Amino acid sequence: MNTPATEQLHQDANGLDTRPLAEAANLLAQSQASAAQVTLDAIAPICGGAKAMANTIRSGGKLRYLAAGSSGLMAASDALELGGTFSIPAAQIRIHMAGGLPTTAEMLGDVEDAVDGLADELADMDAKDTLIAVSASGTTPYTVAAAKLARDRGTPVIGIANNAGSQLLLMADHAVLLATPPELISGSTRMGAGTAQKIALNMLSTLMAIELGHIQDGMMINLRADNDKLRARANGIVCQLTGVTPARADAALKTAGGNLKCAALIAAGAGSAEDAQTLLDETSGHLRPAMKRLNQNKETINLGETK
């Protein structure tokens, strides 16, 4: 039986414990850099997965992040950022981690094999949802069983794994193979494999946000401004998008109830929050075409007034 890549010995591992720490540190950094590069070979399935995630949010479905162990931590970290970064409603996000999210510094190891309660855990999963299933080996029983359930229910599956030909990838609608080299510490997939998983998950959610119109010119235009830092950022984004003063941006944000896209349109001349929202509804929530439509409307009115 062939040893999975994630369990093989790294070519530079021999004598690692006898080397100076600086040399070991250099090898660790290089192995992380090598792991990061593999995401470049998974662009197509990552883009396909991002579109599936965007469709789920539009249709009112749920994004279900599911994994065990360190892969579960990678998945959870992405899921937990979606609200504050892109204002994805919490009701549309689910985190399924084998054994539950840890509340102490101890993670149980045997729960990744426990699949008895999985059907109940995923009882309300349906075709509107998207399952983002992560497993370094691609064979974790908890994750593979969830993918099987998803297929039975017509739920799109994004499978992220670090071993080619693994069960999870074979069952996935969007198979994201992250062919990371063997770990410098054999089997410690929280390292290179985890780094690649984190990058792929960040790419998926960010590309999803682009599809939904939540990013423009590299700015988070759908962020949830719920602290002083983010309120200041929202103000700066409105200023950047429209060229207004901070005071006018602040007034627009207040009128829009903190909705950054609406605030930008109000600052640019939309008559009210309702008018701004109507423009966004007409452009499926995308600010750039909404702003273009607003400017066209203003030009039409100006032409009418000059006749």
Q: Which of 212, 244, 267 is the last residue of a domain?
A: 212
Tell me: the pLDDT tens digits for 29-73? 999 999 999 999 999 999 999 999 999 999 999 999 999 999 999
Phi, psi of 112 (to 5 degrees): -65, -15
Spatial CA neighbour of 217 closest among 277, 264, 282, 279: 264
Cα of 271 vs its chain's centroid, Å: 34
Q: Token match 């930008």: residue?
A: 264
The runs of H, that is alpha helices, within 117-227 are 118-121, 141-153, 167-171, 192-212
Same structural domain for residues 163 and 195?
yes
Residue 263: in which H helix or E strand, if any? Answer: helix 260-267
Find the angle CA(211)-CA(217)-CA(223) to the nearest 5 degrees: 65
Render the burial of 208-237: b for 16+ CB within 10 Å, e for the rest.
bbebbbbbbeebbbbbbbeeeebeebbbeb
Find the angle CA(249)-CA(254)-CA(259) to the nearest 5 degrees: 85
CATH code of residue 276: 1.10.8.1080
Q: Which of 191, 212, 233 is the last residue of a domain?
A: 212
A 10 A CB-CB count for 148 gives 15
User: How far apart are the C-alpha atoms of 182 and 64, rounded to whole Å?
Assistant: 29
Side-chain half-sphere of 200: how many Cα atoms within 13 Å? 39
Q: Is the confidence at residue 286, as pLDDT, over 90?
A: yes
Same structural domain for residues 19 and 104?
yes
Same structural domain for residues 132 and 165?
yes
Domain that holds residue 280: 215-306
| Marked catalytic residue, from 7, 23, 81, 299 | 81
CATH code of residue 169: 3.40.50.10490
Q: Token match 């998803």: residue?
A: 150
Same structural domain for residues 24 and 153?
yes
Q: Which of 181, 212, 243 is the last residue of a domain?
A: 212
Same structural domain for residues 36 and 130?
yes
In the structure encoding, which two tokens stand for residue 92, read together?
């549309």
Tell me: the pLDDT tens digits for 192-211? 999 999 999 999 999 999 99
User: How far apart are the C-alpha atoms of 126 and 249, rounded to whole Å?
Assistant: 41
Same structural domain for residues 150 and 36?
yes
Same structural domain for residues 51 and 178?
yes
Same structural domain for residues 173 and 241?
no
| Marked catalytic residue, from 112, 121, 183, 211 | 112
Tell me: the pLDDT tens digits for 231-262? 999 999 999 999 999 999 999 999 999 999 99
Q: In the prediction, which pLDDT does 301 show?
A: 64
Same structural domain for residues 202 and 280?
no
Same structural domain for residues 103 and 135?
yes
Tell me: the pLDDT tens digits for 114-133? 788 999 999 999 999 999 99
Beta strands 93-97 and 130-135: pairing type?
Answer: unpaired
112 is annotated as an active-site residue = yes
Cβ burial of 9 (10 Å; 0-12, 13-18, 19+) is middle
Same structural domain for residues 134 and 163?
yes
Same structural domain for residues 92 and 131?
yes
Q: With cut-offs at 50, 70 and 90, classify the pLDDT of residue 9.
A: confident
Q: Token match 């003063």: residue?
A: 245
- For the chain, how many structural domains are there in total? 2
Q: Is the pTM of this model over 0.75?
A: yes
